[in-house]
């Protein structure tokens, strides 16, 4: 059964005639996403330190530090279909994860489509993660305890960065993948079962993919579809979280299973009653706060066990 709170949110959006994302220009969709966050996200909790930075002089970053000392780090990539979203839309979730895990969080404002198509976002996310390690002393982080994470498109990017850095001999400590997109071909059964009615629709999936990676010949590139990578062994431990009423549900499960089959440590949790995007909706969906607590626990127990 769909969570009653999620159902009420969908009904309210229909009543207020919130336009579907796929009917908007990218600029309109970005503005709506920013405006909508105030209705669904909790108030921003205070964090000990927040710092604005740039990687390689061009990639805007925001560092959240929950305390003093040399901290583990989560490099976080926001969701939004590689087309919308920014540091502001995911400010609250980054603060929540920093406070809950005791880890520093570095939010990355990677380039978006259609202005910057694939693999621009991948390149930015790899560069930002390398920057964090290179500047570890100045940032007050432990370069041996660096994780990547993200939701939706950000989960896709986190999975890709983990593979890319493994291949470069720069392995990471953990990956937090929240309803990740892992297969651009969008063939999993949940794409049909949950195609309409649950916020992220088949039309919006096609909209986002069209802005980020319109060439079908590129969908099988592992940097777009990490599920199709030839080798998924020797990757960092993972928590993969999905939502039951989400077109991306099955490809998230498939990726968790593929990681496990390749010999990696993986925990998989599906919030069966939830819709895509619920993690950032803690003002109106209680299970979002449960998910944040779970993600925080996974980060803390893996990267920062002394703080537990």
Any idea which residues carry the catalytic annotation?
152, 246, 276
Are 281 and 10 in contact, with CB atoms under 8 Å apart? no
Residue from 163, 146, 161, 164 nearest 105 by CA? 146
* CA nearest neighbour of 56 among 128, 107, 1: 128
Determine the Cα–Cα distance for residues 269 and 256; give it in Å rounded to an integer: 10
CA dist 138 to 9, 104, 304, Å?
Answer: 43, 13, 20
19's CB contacts (< 8 A; 6+ apart) are 32
User: Cα separations (Å) of 142 from 55, 121, 145, 248, 295?
Assistant: 18, 25, 5, 33, 20
Q: Could you tell me whether strands 238-245 and 174-178 are parallel, antiparallel, or unpaired per DSSP bridges?
A: parallel
DSSP character for 48? S
DSSP 43: P
Residue with tokens 């909508």: 36
Cis status, amide bond into 114, omega within 30 of 0: yes
């Amino acid at each position: 059964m769909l969570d009653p709170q999620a159902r009420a949110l969908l009904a309210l959006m229909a009543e207020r005639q919130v336009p579907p994302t796929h009917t908007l220009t990218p600029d309109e969709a970005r503005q709506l996403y920013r405006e909508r966050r105030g209705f669904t996200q909790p108030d921003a909790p205070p964090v000990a330190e927040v710092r604005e930075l740039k990687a390689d002089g061009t990639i805007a970053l925001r560092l959240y530090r929950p305390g003093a000392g040399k901290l583990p780090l989560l490099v976080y990539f926001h969701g939004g279909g590689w087309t919308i979203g920014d540091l502001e839309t995911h400010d609250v979730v980054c603060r929540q994860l920093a406070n809950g895990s005791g880890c520093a969080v570095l939010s990355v404002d990677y380039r978006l489509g259609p202005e910057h198509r694939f693999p621009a976002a991948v390149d930015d996310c790899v560069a930002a993660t390398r920057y964090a390690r290179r500047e570890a002393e100045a940032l007050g982080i432990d370069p041996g305890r660096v994780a990547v994470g993200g939701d939706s498109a950000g989960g896709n990017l986190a999975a890709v960065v983990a593979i890319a850095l493994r291949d470069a001999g720069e392995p990471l400590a953990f990956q937090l993948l929240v309803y990740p997109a892992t297969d651009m071909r969008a063939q999993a059964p949940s794409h049909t079962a949950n195609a309409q009615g649950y916020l992220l629709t088949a039309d919006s999936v096609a909209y986002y993919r069209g802005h980020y990676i319109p060439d079908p010949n590129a969908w099988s590139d592992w940097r777009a579809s990490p599920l199709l990578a030839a080798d998924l062994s020797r990757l960092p431990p993972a928590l993969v979280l999905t939502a039951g009423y989400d077109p991306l549900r099955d490809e998230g499960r498939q990726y968790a299973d593929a990681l496990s089959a390749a010999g990696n440590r993986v925990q998989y949790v599906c919030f069966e009653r939830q819709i895509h995007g619920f993690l950032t909706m803690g003002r109106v969906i209680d299970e979002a706060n449960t998910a944040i607590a779970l993600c925080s626990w996974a980060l803390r127990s893996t990267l920062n066990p002394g703080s537990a």
